[in-house]
Amino acid sequence: MKRIQTGTALGAAGGVAATIVIDVIQAVVMPLMGLPATGAFSIIGDTAAGFFALIGVQVAGGVLLGASLHYLIGLVLGAIFGAATAGIAVFRLTPIKRGVCLGILYTELVSLPILVTPPLILNWGRADTVQWFGFSFVMHAIWGTVLGTVVAYGLAATRRQHLAEPHPSQNLH
């Protein structure tokens, strides 16, 4: 149980760290593409507002809602990844390369339903949708790389620390 708690905490931290990394990259790259630096946040916020409108709830979209949801999703998806990789033996992240590969695979798979939503709710054309998926695929591969690295490295360090500690029965005086 302690291993799953550690994995969950590492995953949450890795999810937030990965979100920060891709947000910094987006803030630099999006203006180079002729888009506002906060464009991804606006898309997320406007999509959420559009979704809520479909069920009769009025919510203001935009950057603030989008940024809040982006970080919440990063935290939650990171925590789930950390818990799963710490608790399910087949997903153990040794070596760290496995952590990176599983991080990328996990991210690309769980993000698909999320990525489909903006083009549908915001009624995008083909060109905008293709650009969205291409850019998101790259950003999520980076997100998965950071997440997998943080969780794998953290679990390995925890494992090394645990192995170095003397067993309680060895501390008899």
A 10 A CB-CB count for 162 gives 11
Q: Give pLDDT tens digits for 124-139.
A: 999 999 999 999 999 9
Contacts for 103 with CB less than 8 Å, ≥ 6 apart: 81, 144, 145, 146, 147, 148, 149, 151, 152
Considering the entire predicted model, what is its pTM?
0.88
Residues 105-113: contacts with CB under 8 Å, at least 24 apart: 105/144, 106/81, 106/144, 106/147, 106/148, 107/77, 107/140, 107/141, 107/143, 107/144, 107/147, 108/137, 108/140, 108/141, 108/144, 110/77, 111/136, 111/140
| pLDDT beyond 70 at 163 | no
Q: Give pLDDT tens digits for 35-88.
A: 999 999 999 999 999 999 999 999 999 999 999 999 999 999 999 999 999 988
More confident residue, 96 or 130: 130
Token pair belonging to 109: 């798979």
